[in-house]
Structures are given as structure tokens and as C-alpha cells.
Amino acid sequence: MNPPVTAAPTAPVTAPASVAKPSPAGAGRVARVAVLGASGYSGHEFVRLALAHPGLEIAALVSREYAGRPAGELLPGVDARITHLPAPVAPDALPALLADGAFDTLVTCLPHGAWKALAAAQPELATKPLRIVDLSSDFRDGSGGYVYGQPEAFRDSLAGATRIANPGCYPTAATLSLLPALEAGWLAGPVTVTALSGVSGAGRAPSLRTSFAELEGGAGFYKVGEVHQHVPEMARTFGRLAHTDVPVAFAPQLAPMSRGILLTAIAPLAKPLTPAQASEAYAERYANETFVRVLPAGQWPETRLVKASNRCDVAVTTVHGGRTLLATSAIDNLVKGAAGQAIQNLNIVLGWPEGWGLPVHGNPW
């Protein structure tokens, strides 16, 4: 897509092409889901969203720590009076449950490396005809037959897939902030990404670095440069979209908030663009994307406006006489950056409306 020659003074806010509907036609089938790592933040969030999704049934809750205890202890935010949940089981119970036909979909919400190790130890989980959505980084490189699950970028590859590698939260925000520019071949050099993240992105395991006393009242960088584990994922995705190598430098920062990512991506442009041209091209590219909202000129993303939603807010401009792109985005790292995107991917795989059962509105307060 070539950038438009003329543009309106401001880019319109992108309106979703469709909104989630309570009972889409042809959605009579139900996916019976086992949630592996249900006690973590992303696992808990997946269950919360799935309980409001008419096509998803929570068939198994898997947690080594909570096995044999009431589901209410594992998921204290769920009201067990009105929602039946299975008793949590340990991971070694999964093969028998699968053999009995208890579930047909496995959503893995484990720390990086843990699912790959478990799949090697229990190969029946990885080889049976089973839908698997992995929220870790284990197979984001496309190994093991996994498809990279970024719907807005690679939707066509997801239909009917049985192995989906959910993107990381930082790469999701970065990809959506740059997607129109990458596809149009605008960029002429390396990308520099900076991002503020809530501490839930580090997982639920206790850590001094993410404790309240260590983080409250300030913000700090970590893994700056090319050492963060998400840098190869970003570079791989950017290169795939731009059809050329795109080097990435990354400066992530922890902020004193529980959830949310606020991201900035800066890159040189091959040809100068005005801010209005960039904004109009972004609005056009995302016009039919339910979960990406392009903000008008002068408005910028805020994490609180996308909290608890599956929406990504994007705003873009150019600087340095139009020679540099400056793109910004905000997501909820536990929803669009993890559990919500997993459900979005499952909707595509199962042939359901992509937005079915997913919140597009944020909860700012």
C-alpha cells in the first residue's frame, strides 16, 4: 500500500467492522478446554474470559500447586455459586484425561520453557489430534508445526490450525504499532522500541524485582539493548512483514502498575511522510480490525483506557521533517497480550466470529 498523496487534517478513529455477538450462526460446537498453568495471571485471565464465552467450556484446570484443592482457591475471583468448575489436577493427570476424551483443546499458560519440557516428557500431549494454544515463547519460532498467532498480521495462516504459538505481550504491542508501515515498506533502517510494562507481565512467581516495596514510586529499565528474550521475536515478525531484515533494539521498563503496556517504536523512513499521511494510512489499514483503534491526531494511547479489554490503541506521527516514524500503542498485557488473544485465535481456528466473547471496551477505573 503506497502512502496517500493527500490526507485529511486528522485521521478518523477506526470503527470496528463488527462487534462480538451473543450467538453467531454456526457456532453450535463447543471447545472443551484444559488450562495448563491455571494459577498464573494469564491462566486465571483465560478462565475468566472463557467463562463468558458460550463456545468455550473449561474441562480441566491444571496446576501442580493447587491440585486436589477447591477450584475457588485457585480462582478466587470466580463466584463458584453460579459457575461450576472442575477440581484442579496436577499436570500428570492430563494424559489420562485426554485418553478419556475429557478435553479437545489445551491452552498452556506456563513459564517459558516449561511447556516444551512437559511435551517432551509426556509426548502423547504433543502428538494426539488436539488443539494447542501455547502462551509461552517455546514455539514462536515456528518449530513443532506451530503457527504464530498474531491475527491482524497473519490471519490467513490461522484458519484450521491445530498448533498456535501466542505472541508475547511486548511483540504484540510492537507489531500492531508498526504493522501498516512494515507492510507498506516504509522503513529504511533499524527499529528502536521502548515500553512501560505492568509487573504482571513477569508472571505470578514471587520476585524481589517485582515486589511492591521495590517498585512503588518509581520505574526502571531492565534487559536493555538486544538481550531481552522478545527481541528475536520482534525482529522475526518485523522481517516477515517487511520482507527484509529489520534489526531491533529494545528498552523495556517496569512501571508501578499491575497490568498494561505503553509502547513507542521509532524508525527511519525510506521516503518522507507527513503526520497526516501516516495517520490516514494507519486508519485505512486498520479500518476493519475490531481490536485495533487508531486514535485521531493529538490523542495518544493510555494503558487505563484498554485495561481488561482485548483492544490495542494505536497512534502515529512523523518527526524530523517527516524522515522518522514515531508509532505508539497500548494494550492490556494479560488480555490482548495473552489470554484474550488466545481466545481470538481460537475463534479463528474454530470458524467463529473473531470477536466472539471478547471485550472491546476498556475499564479505565
Q: Pick from 104, 60, 30, 338: which is nearest to 201 by CA?
A: 338
**Active-site residue among 11, 74, 169, 278?**
169
The whole-angstrom separation of Cα 43 and Cα 221 is 27
The whole-angstrom separation of Cα 188 and Cα 268 is 5
Cell numbers standing for residue 76: 478466587
φ/ψ (deg, to 5) at 182: -65, -45
Sign of CA dihedral 181, 187, 190, 192: negative
Q: For the chain, percent helix, then strand, then coil, each to nearest 5? A: 30, 20, 50
Cβ partners under 8 Å of residue 315, min gap 6: 279, 294, 295, 299, 300, 301, 327, 328, 329
Active site residue 169: yes
- Residues noted as catalytic: 169
